[in-house]
Amino acid sequence: MSKPEIILVEPMMPAIEARLDAAYTVHRLFEPGGRDTALAARPKIRAVVTGGGSGIGSDWIEAMPDLGIVAINGVGTDRVNLALARSRGVDVTTTPGTLTEDVADMGMALMLAVLRRIVEGDGFVRQGRWAAREPFPLGGSLKGRRLGILGLGQIGRALARRAEVFGMSVRYWDRAPIPGNAWAFHEDPHALAADSDVLAVCVAATPETRGMVDAGLLASLGRTGVVVNISRGSVVDEPALIDALRSGAIAAAGLDVFASEPEIDPAFLSLANTVITPHQASATVETRIAMGEAVLANLSAHFAGARPPAVVN
C-alpha cells in the first residue's frame, strides 16, 4: 500500500523528520520548489504538519479534499482556522504539556536579560570597554519586583512559580479568577499593569486578545515598567510598544515573538532597551523531541482510525 501523502510546513528535528519519512510521503513546503510540489499534491494530501507560529492558510485547507488532520508542532492554534477545519471534518491537534517549562524558562531568561543587562554586558566586554575601565550601568533586582502575568494558563502558572523562587511577587489577569493559587487576581488588565513592574504576556492569541497590550496598557505599566512577551506578537500593538520604548513611556522589553516574524519591524533592531530573540522559547533539543513525539502520536492515531490524543477543535 502506498504511504499517505502529507505536507510539512516547517523543518522539525532530523530524527523526527526521518520517522515522518518512514511512514509518509512528505512534501516539504520549505524546500526550494517545495511550494509548487505541495500545491500540485493538494488533491492527495491527507495530513499537514506545521508549527504554531506558521499554521496553515484556510485556502490550503479548502483545496485539500482528503485532508483529515492538521498536526501542530506546538500549542498555539491562532494560525489555523479551527472552525473551518471542523466543518470539513479535519482534526486539529497540538502538543499540550510538552513545552510549558521551557517557555516559562524563556520568560525568566528575558526578564533576567533585560533587568540584569546580560546582552548589554556581553557586548561591553567584547568591545573592550570593560578592559578600558568604562563604568557599566547598574541593573535591577528581580527580588522585590512585582510580576504581572497576562494570561494565567499552564505557561503563566509555570512562570509564576519560577518568579516566586526569585523573590518576585505575582499577580495576574485572566478572563476569570483561576482557582488553586494564592496570587492576586485583577479583573482589569489596566489595573494589573498599574500594579506591576514587569508585565509578562502569556495569554493565548485570539480575536479577543489581539492588540491587548496597547498604548493605554503601556502607560499604566509606566516609565519603570518592563514588558516580556513569550506568547504571540499579535497580542501587542507593536507600533505602540515601539513608541513607548522610544519615548521612555516604559523602560524596556524582552521579546521572543513578533507580529510579522521572522521579518520583524526594523524599529526593534535599533532599540537599545530591548532584548529580542527569534521565537526560541520552545527551541531546546529535549522539548523539540517531546513535541515531535506528540505530533507523531497524533498522526499515527489518526491514520489508525482512532481519535488523536490531543484534538483541540
Binding site for ligand 8YV (CB under 6 A): 10, 51-53, 73-76, 99, 279, 282
Work out whether strand 184-186 and strand 169-173 pair parallel, antiparallel, or are unpaired: parallel
CB of 14: closest distance to ligand 8YV in angstroms? 15
3-state secondary structure of 184: strand
How far is the CA of 67 from the CAs of 2, 7, 228, 281, in angstroms? 16, 10, 37, 30
Exactly one of 10, 17, 120, 261 is catalytic; which is it?
Answer: 261
Q: How far is the CB of 257 from ligand 8YV (least distance, A)?
A: 7
Q: Cα-Cα-Cα-Cα dihedral of 74, 264, 200, 225, to 10°?
A: 170
Q: Answer yes or no: 10 catalytic.
A: no
Min. distance of Cβ 102 from ligand 8YV in angstroms? 8
Our answer to whether residue 27 is catalytic in this structure is no
Q: Is 171 a catalytic residue?
A: no
Quick one: 196 or 231, whose CB is closer to ligand 8YV?
Answer: 231
Contacts 24+ apart (CB under 8 A), 167-176: 167/141, 167/142, 167/143, 168/142, 168/143, 168/144, 168/198, 169/144, 169/145, 170/146, 171/146, 171/147, 171/195, 171/196, 172/148, 173/148, 173/149, 174/203
Burial level of 178, CB count in 10 A (0-12/13-18/19+)? middle
CB of 231 to ligand 8YV, least distance (A): 9
Measured from the CB atom, is 99 or 250 closer to ligand 8YV? 99
294 vs 301, beta carbon nearer ligand 8YV? 294
Question: How far is the C-alpha of 49 from the C-alpha of 69, rounded, in Å?
Answer: 8
Q: How many CA atoms lie within 13 A of 73 on its CB side?
A: 26
Nearer to ligand 8YV, 238 or 256 (CB): 256
Out of 117, 279, 288, 302, pick the active-site residue: 279
Catalytic residue among 117, 232, 288, 302: 232
Q: Choose between 141 and 260: whose C-beta lies nearer to ligand 8YV.
A: 260
Least separation, in Å, of the C-beta of 104 and ligand 8YV? 12
Instruction: Give the active site residues.
Output: 232, 261, 279
